[in-house]
Structure 1
Amino acid sequence: MSDLFLHESIIADKLNKPTRLDKYLSITIKNKSRSTIQDYIKKGKIRVNTKMSKSNYVVKEGDLIELFETYEKENGIKPMNFALDIIFENDHYIVINKPSGMPMHPGLGNYDNSLLNALSFHYNNTKQFENLLEDSLVQRLDKDTTGLVVVAKTKKAYEGLSKQFQNKQNLQRTYYALCWGTFKNKKGTIRNYIGRNPNNLKSIEVSKDKSFGKLAVTHYEVLKTSNNFSWVKCTLETGRTHQIRVHMQSINHPLVGDLRYQSKLYPQRNTPKSIKHHLLHASILQFSDPESSNLLTYENDPDWGDFQL
């Protein structure tokens, strides 16, 4: 079974002369010929500003160009030896500080360097052969979002944790983000409906129309502002796909380094060169122990080197 995954994202630089999309990419992407690029465009595997395009499209400065590849799903999860930053582990669940660049599971752009691949190796290496892998994820962080994530190790833990995440029972998830611009209000709540863009199912949009998608609520507090950047604490009341990223974009304060959810006010080409991904960190995770029902809170600070203003 095949699936599409995002292989590469490019922000177009200023061009000296008008250049077609196929020619621009054949120059920019070294291992793809122009005919291959044209074939990708025909198959919808290259998109400009999240939309399908044509080979003769004239590239503009600041265009977001995304190249997708086909991934053949395999049965089973291959163990891979990646270092895990384990915050806590017992017989029932494990809490990990996930790094950027690591997806939660294989098949969404990475063949074998996902969190589940790393956990498979860890369980084998520590002789925990009976632990869950296929049905162990009760929450998800985006590939480039860092921070705390809990993974179930038993069926009972999976069922208990899943129920908490679904019902928001005893659950707290707090993130820190670096956003563009100076906020008018230092505290606020973003409440609207978010759902898949019908023209691009890999992107999420917001709407006031409840028939569009699911209710999404984010509470935010600006902690510091400097040099047109703001440190923001975000607490989730709901947990929708890309929620914080989409919500910050919706109020014209997108995350720094976020190539997908941008704003015309703050083009991502102005992002400092040291920032290689969107800066969003899951810093506080609270839930009830699936065995004892005790309320547990785990905290982990982001890599503040990325967040310096």
Structure 2
Amino acid sequence: MSMLPDDEIEEDELELYEHYRFLVDKGQSPIRIDKFLTEKVALATRNRVQLAIDAGSIQVNGKNTKGSYKIKPGDDIRVLFEKPRRETEVLAEDIDLDIIFEDQYLMVVNKPAGMVVHPAQGNWTGTLVNGLVYHFQNLPEMKGNVGRPGLVHRIDKDTSGLLVIAKSEEAMTHLAAQFFHHTIDRTYLALVWGEPEGESGTITGNVGRSAKDRKVMDVFVDGSQGKHAVTHWKVIERLRYVTLVQCNLETGRTHQIRAHMKFIGHPLFNDAMYGGDKIRKGTQFAKYKTFIQNCFDLIPRQALHAKSLGFIHPVTKEKLYFEAPLPPDFGGVLDKWRSYVIYE
């Protein structure tokens, strides 16, 4: 499967703007087009794809299609909308920010779970960056990172916790260098399924996009794909069928903790993308299943929190260290497990 460049759009087709275009590989097996696009387009869902099909926004070989259509090798699939793709525009929005620390050079923000860090396809508003550009003027941008002012790193939408934001070019340069050289101290708390062997360990294995689903990251221990990734973990609290662990990142790859913990057989609690939204350990009793569902309802996301952040101030050279308390959903689910362990 290959993505075709935008400059191959025909002149007489510019009434609609092309957002994606796929030329189906010769070896592609026949699958429904809605399933194909859900796997290939980030943030797409079956419902969104079907709505686009119903609106005539998805064409196969120049013609409108149906969700039940099964793609064939050689098919030319195009996703077209009335408005062009927004790549760099950032709308300022009055969004409350939980600022832990701020001076003229940088700030540290405690991001709530559910907030996307920066605008992208499917999430152009309501992001942390939309709030940043409302409250702060002339935030710097990293080269090649246009549309993401102030950012030197990010965490997943459904991960809560700390981010450092650069307010000046000097701060951005120095902070980016610390991330590049892996001298930033980052500690996460994760609730994982099962009981890891031993009290601590290190997971080393390249992290890269899955060939089956581009939204998911796989671990390639042979180094054949992906980027070098190292996660150090240690047990904080054992709660029978789940364990609270601390993870320290030596590198910072997309979904690194989520992919690494799944790789060693301990996916994060209620992490739907990595299989943690199913009962992985425990009994088959109805009472236990109800208990787990109540826990899932309490924390409807992966149980991952960016607890602490430490770095050298880019101007004063002072060593700074910050911590963010567990949010209510994470703390609440821990309390439920503690009660379960005591009374069951």
TM-score normalised by length of structure 2: 0.68
Q: 1:251 aligns with which of 258, 264, 273?
A: 264
Residue of structure 2 in register with 1:6 after alignment: 43
2-structure distance, mates of 1:173, 1:69:
41
Query: How many residues are treated as equivalent by the alignment?
Result: 264
1-structure distance, mates of 2:90, 2:49:
29
Q: 1:302 aligns with which of 319, 322, 326?
A: 326
2-structure distance, mates of 1:265, 1:119:
39
2-structure distance, mates of 1:206, 1:73:
32
Counterparts of residues 77-88 of structure 1 (less than 5 Å): 77-88=90-101
- The Cα of 1:86 is off from its aligned counterpart by 0.6
Q: 1:76 to 1:30 in 2, by over 3 A?
A: closer
Residue of structure 2 in register with 1:279 after alignment: 303
2-structure distance, mates of 1:219, 1:117:
33
RMSD value, Cα: 3.3
2-structure distance, mates of 1:272, 1:227:
17
2-structure distance, mates of 1:5, 1:38:
20
- The Cα of 1:307 is off from its aligned counterpart by 3.2
2:138 is the alignment partner of 1:130: yes
- The Cα of 1:117 is off from its aligned counterpart by 0.2
- The Cα of 1:41 is off from its aligned counterpart by 11
| Letter matched to residue 130 of structure 2 | N
- The Cα of 1:227 is off from its aligned counterpart by 4.3
| Letter matched to residue 140 of structure 2 | L
2:125 is the alignment partner of 1:112: yes
2-structure distance, mates of 1:221, 1:41:
50
Residue of structure 1 in register with 2:312 after alignment: 288
**CA deviation string 1:2-50 (max 9, x = no partner):** 3744155xxxxxxxxxxxxxxxx7xxx599579749997989xxxxxxx
Contact persistence 1:178–1:256 (CA under 8 A): yes
Q: 1:299 to 1:195 in 2, by over 3 A?
A: same
Q: 1:266 to 1:229 in 2, by over 3 A?
A: same
2:246 is the alignment partner of 1:219: no
| SS state at 2:272 partner | coil
Counterparts of residues 4-153 of structure 1 (less than 5 Å): 4-8=41-45, 36=54, 55=68, 72-73=85-86, 75-123=88-136, 129-132=137-140, 134-153=148-167
Contact persistence 1:137–1:152 (CA under 8 A): yes
1-structure distance, mates of 2:59, 2:243:
37
Q: 1:305 to 1:101 in 2, by over 3 A?
A: same
Counterparts of residues 125-274 of structure 1 (less than 5 Å): 129-132=137-140, 134-169=148-183, 171-262=184-275, 266=280, 272-274=296-298
- The Cα of 1:150 is off from its aligned counterpart by 0.3
Structure with the largest fraction of strand: 1
- The Cα of 1:131 is off from its aligned counterpart by 2.8
Q: 1:78 to 1:135 in 2, by over 3 A?
A: closer
Residue of structure 1 in register with 2:144 after alignment: none
| SS state at 1:184 partner | coil
The answer for unaligned runs of 5 or more in structure 1 is 9-24, 44-53, 58-67, 124-128
Q: 1:72 to 1:229 in 2, by over 3 A?
A: same
1-structure distance, mates of 2:68, 2:299:
31
The answer for unaligned runs of 5 or more in structure 2 is 1-17, 21-40, 62-66, 71-78, 142-147, 282-288, 338-344
| SS state at 2:43 partner | strand
Q: 1:69 to 1:172 in 2, by over 3 A?
A: farther
| SS state at 1:214 partner | coil
Contact persistence 1:193–1:216 (CA under 8 A): yes
Q: 1:92 to 1:32 in 2, by over 3 A?
A: same
2-structure distance, mates of 1:280, 1:192:
20
| SS state at 1:137 partner | coil
